[in-house]
Structure 1
Amino acid sequence: MRRVKLGQICEVVSGGTPKTNVEEYWNGEFNWITPAEINDNDYIISDTKRKITQLAIEKKKLTLLPKGTVLLSSRAPIGKVAIAGKEMYCNQGFKNLICSDEICNEYLYWYLKSKKEYLNSLGRGATFKEISKKIVENIEIKLPEIEQQRKIVNKLKEVDKIIQQRKCQSRLLDGMVQSRFVEMFGTLDNPTQNFQTARLEELCSKITDGKHGGCVQEKGTKRYFVGAREIYDDKIHYDTAPEININEFEKDYKRCNVEIGDLLIVNTGATIGKSAIATDERTIHTLLQKSVALLKVRKELLNSVFLKWCYRVNTKMYMVESASAQANLLLSKIRKTKIYVPDINLQNKFASFVQQVNKSKFEVQKSLEKTQLLFDSLMQEYFG
């Protein structure tokens, strides 16, 4: 197996943006892509949100990207990868790779997917980091024979297909729960019955947020400082939460004491509305950051599982307009939010259904994690 530079086996090309205020450049017939259109799970992209005209191509002197080109975002952010399923053009946020016969484009796709952290380390610039054409051309890659490349691609695609199937199963199970919620309760705008309504401040014994300001980190304390980044996939992810000084924990814990059954909602930033119910023994050793709101329900009136799905189904409960750069779901808004209050027995019946579905999700998640470990080990084996 030899090592070569990408510039030796690929043509590296970028793009540009026609003037947006010239109508004759836009709404044409030619695909024109930006990095924002590529998601982490994208493989082949055959269509783009915006189209440009022949005049725009000529005036901007844009280079055509043939079908099969490996698309690589070079800034904002660095490292998004996909393969062009059709001919297209792009903006200046790419350093794309038109592959020669020596390298399979799918092999290069998986190689670059495995090197996102490395690609970001190559970024240069004061205002925002970017990788230049020269930097991309000088990246060295291990290059097996073309038949071996295809075997590697087939194995990775086979395992990735299973991963995507497991993710799809998990989404379908979530969809089942959401459908059952709407079937039983409807939406706030269109309830299934004439339910009583009440403000959350009447239905909760406490609504607060976490500590305003940082904490001294101290490993080995088993006291966790949980923020927005730890709340996703309906769970609290303690593996990324910093451990903090016990004295600081005890000083602030009384105000936002997390207990099993409490609902935690991200109330600031890009993941606003993500939520989790506290469920394990680490709960009592959890101090929240300001970015997370704590809702302690009155159990005779409200089931926290019902409330969690009430937020998920009725997204307007946390969709806020903010004059600042970062959206913020204020505690005052949470407290004054009015929701329907079905009979607690009906809420509990829904919560029991969720519990059964979660058992299936747990099995799917175990399979997903096992398959992901296999995929990661293959990527390490093939690409280092």
Structure 2
Amino acid sequence: MEYRTLKDIAKITMGQSPDSSSYNKEKDGLPFFQGNADFGELYPNERIWCNEPKKVAIPGDILISVRAPIGALNYAKEKSCIGRGLAAITIKNVVERNYIFHLLRARNKYLNSKGTGSTFKAIGKNVLEEVLVPQISREEQQKCVNVIDLIESIIIERKSQIDKLDELVRARFVEMFGDVIHNDKLWEKHTVESLCKEIYGGGTPSKSHPEYYENGDIPWVSSKDMKSDVVTDSQIKINRLGLDNSTAKMVPINSVIMVIRSGILKHTLPVAINAVPITVNQDLKVFIPGEHVLTRFLAVQFKMHEKDILSGVRAVTADNIEFDSLKQRELIVPPIELQHEYVFFLEQIDKSKVEVQKALDKAQLLFDSLMQKYFG
């Protein structure tokens, strides 16, 4: 197969941050997108505007993150200002543009391998320019796009079904227990600290001792592993030697785990329950419930407090929750029988989510195999 480079078919515009004095929230000027944090499912989310843009993307441009995390993609739906975390790729032909969008998704690992920088990895214009594009006809490009888009629409629908089940969990909570912040049903209240037998953080075995990680069989959970409401594994594992020579502690099954320091706290409070024994790093806290609150009830109630907790997030060296304040936060404590009733409801929802997740995993597997087939 013959190839062209991306620079042969596209105009690539690297972003540049304008003067901060031109930023505003009054919608004066163009929407300003600084990087991956502004991306939505397909189009960026408008939060800040700029009335003195330096670099501009036009409607239909592919927007790509060029600073860690490298490779995230969106489309520009309107003329917009782009900061140094993004590049805009202009391709006039719609079919070819959509094909390149999927091609760049498939090249994500390659692009990340080209990242340089000691603190934040980034790629330059030259890396994007040299991305290889198969020379196939517009008809073949359209066929690839149609199949990929069809499978992706199924994936989006399955994710939407899971989101709706999560919404049902929240709606049932409010129906049974009311507003947790204002306690409109006048339940008894206790602090987080008084409701838990133990609360503790994690630790990191020294990375200068690779023997602490060799043949690791103990999950060492970080914020990167907190992507669902149940934790069963981790990207990195430690061994008993690493556990014994660090501040990491074994976390018993059925504890509540919360991320308290991470950039994700700008918009999400990750909370999960561990289904297996684990350890955690220092960015997470472990809550072991006492006799007056069920584990799942505590986890869901934390999520019901999500917006209020995140409103107090501080950014010092990293976004973080003030832990002493969290321990003193008051939670409602309905009778244990009502908590059991709610948890039983959750277990029925879990069964539905398992079936939807299986269908989602199957569609994702097909999507990944097709991306490999079409783009290598």
Cα contact 1:197–1:340 (8 A) shared by 2? yes
8 Å contact 2:205–2:212 — kept in the other structure? no
- What is the DSSP-based 3-state SS (H/G/I as helix, E as strand, rest coil) of the residue aligned with 1:264? strand
Distance 1:271 1:235, change over 3 A: farther
Give 1:263's aligned residue.
256
* 2:238 counterpart SS class: coil
Indicate if the aligned counterparts of 2:58 and 2:76 stay in contact, CA closer than 8 A.
yes
Residue 256 of structure 1 deviates from its aligned partner by 4.4
Residue 269 to residue 12, structure 1, CA distance change in 2 (3 Å): closer
Change (3 A) 1:73 1:340: closer
Q: Deviations over 1:279-303 (max 9, x none)?
A: 2xx32xx23332222222223x111
The answer (yes or no) to whether the contact 2:192–2:326 under 8 Å persists in 1 is yes
Contact 2:22–2:50 at 8 Å: present in 1 too? no
Q: Deviations over 1:90-127 (max 9, x none)?
A: 34444322225596100000011111221223334567
Query: Are 1:241 and 2:236 counterparts?
Result: yes
Task: Kindly provide the amino acid, as one letter, of the partner of residue 99 in structure 2.
Answer: Y
Q: Does 1:209 align with 2:201?
A: yes
Structure ID, larger Rg? 1
Residue of structure 2 equivalent to 1:195: 187
Structure 1 position 31, deviation (Å): 5.1
- For 1:274 and 1:193, the matched residues in 2 are separated by 27
- The equivalent residue for 1:2 is 2
RMSD after superposition: 3.2
Using structure 2 for the length normalisation, give the TM-score.
0.85
Once residues 290 and 198 of structure 2 are traced to their aligned partners in structure 1, the CA distance between those partners, rounded to angstroms, is 9
Say if 1:209 and 1:331, in contact at 8 Å, map to a contact too: no
Q: Which residue of 1 aligns with 2:273?
A: 277
Q: Deviations over 1:178-216 (max 9, x none)?
A: 111111112333224221122233322222222365485
- Alpha-carbon distance in 1 for matches of 2:315, 2:11: 45
Deviates more, 1:345-354 or 1:86-95: 86-95
The residue correspondences of 1:245-324 to structure 2 (distance < 5 A) are 246-249=240-243, 256-271=249-264, 273-279=269-275, 282-283=276-277, 286-299=278-291, 301-315=292-306, 316-317=308-309, 320-322=312-314, 324=316
Contact in 1 for aligned 2:222/2:234 (Cα 8 Å) = no
The TM-score, its normalising length taken from structure 1, stands at 0.83
Distance 2:203 2:50 in 1: 50
Q: Give the 3-state SS of the residue equivalent to 2:237 in structure 1.
A: coil
Q: Deviations over 1:100-158 (max 9, x none)?
A: 55961000000111112212233345675443333322222212111000000000000
Which structure 1 residue ranges, 5 or more long, are not aligned? Answer: none
Report the secondary structure of 1:120's partner residue.
helix
Secondary structure at 2:352's aligned position in 1?
helix
C-alpha distance 250-73 of structure 1, shift in aligned 2 (>3 A):
closer
Equivalences for residues 46-125 of structure 1 within 5 A: 48-51=46-49, 56=52, 65-75=57-67, 77-99=69-91, 101=93, 104-124=96-116
Q: 1:323 to 1:159 in 2, by over 3 A?
A: closer
CA distance, structure 1, for counterparts of residue 281 and residue 39 of structure 2: 29
- Identity within the alignment, %: 26
- One-letter amino acid of the structure 1 residue matched with residue 251 of structure 2: V
> In structure 1, what is the Cα distance between the partners aligned to 2:354 and 2:297?
20
Q: Which residue of 1 aligns with 2:162?
A: 170
* Alignment correspondent of 2:133: 141
| One-letter amino acid matched to 1:105 | R
Tell me the secondary structure at the aligned position of residue 152 of structure 1.
Answer: helix
- 1:357 maps onto 2:349 in alignment: yes
